[in-house]
């Protein structure tokens, strides 16, 4: 009888993790694929961007949900349980950050592909994509640290002081950078243009 109870005690969490994996696989292979086909028929590229951004992440989310369910049905030491739950939370927040970064970058590409009529990739587009990724991943990293109990106030203070120092040291460089961005956004100068003067 004791052996049967032990087997059942282990079967429930294993079944929870397996159910999460199967649900994630079904969403990835069936639901996401079907939604992708529907998105192609709508004519708006935004739907396709959203669906593609979720690919590979829904499976992870379902597995995390299965592991979380397993922790609720299996006796675990309180300290270890807290560690596991923090790890799962960090995994969810990290994957959500990746999805947000994907969405932001792809929508920037979509916007400029519809508005900027130049051959090749726009320098401004590449710059905005990189800056957007850095901003989103930085915010996501700080949120993850805060969620697992790591204080981010000293880190923010250090980043603020470092940012001011870098800004002062690179004042001329940053001035030229933003001047270049202003020229690009004004669309008065395009790739291939050259200065002409009366000599």
Place of tokens 């799962």: 88
pTM over 0.85: no
pLDDT in tens, 7-33: 777 788 888 889 999 999 998 888 887
pLDDT at 189: 65
112 compared with 64, residue with greater pLDDT: 64
Instruction: Say whether 188 sits in a helix, a strand or coil.
Output: coil
Between the alpha carbon of residue 163 and those of residues 52, 133, 167, the distances in Å are: 35, 18, 6
* CB of 93 closer than 8 Å to CB of 143: yes
Domain ranges of the chain: 2-186
Average pLDDT over every residue of 115-125: 55
C-alpha torsion angle, residues 48, 49, 51, 53 (rounded to 10):
160
Residues of the chain above pLDDT 90, percent:
23
pLDDT at 89: 93
């Amino acid at each position: 009888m004791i052996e049967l109870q032990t087997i059942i005690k282990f079967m429930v969490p294993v079944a929870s993790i397996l159910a999460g994996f199967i649900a994630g696989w079904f969403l990835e292979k069936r639901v996401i694929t079907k939604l992708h086909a529907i998105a192609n028929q709508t004519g708006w590229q935004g739907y396709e961007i959203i669906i593609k951004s979720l690919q590979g992440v829904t499976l992870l989310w379902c597995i995390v949900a299965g592991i979380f369910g397993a922790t609720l049905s299996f006796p675990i030491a309180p300290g270890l349980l807290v560690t596991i739950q923090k790890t799962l939370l960090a995994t969810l927040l990290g994957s959500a950050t990746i999805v947000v970064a994907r969405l932001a970058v792809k929508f920037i590409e979509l916007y400029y592909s519809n508005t900027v009529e130049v051959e090749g990739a726009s320098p401004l587009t590449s710059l905005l994509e990189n800056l957007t990724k850095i901003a989103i991943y930085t915010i996501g990293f700080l949120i993850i640290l805060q969620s697992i109990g790591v204080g981010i106030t000293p880190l923010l203070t250090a980043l603020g002081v470092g940012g001011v120092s870098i800004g002062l040291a690179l004042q001329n460089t940053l001035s030229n950078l933003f001047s270049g961005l202003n020229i690009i956004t004004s669309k008065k100068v395009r790739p291939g243009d050259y200065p002409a003067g009366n000599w």
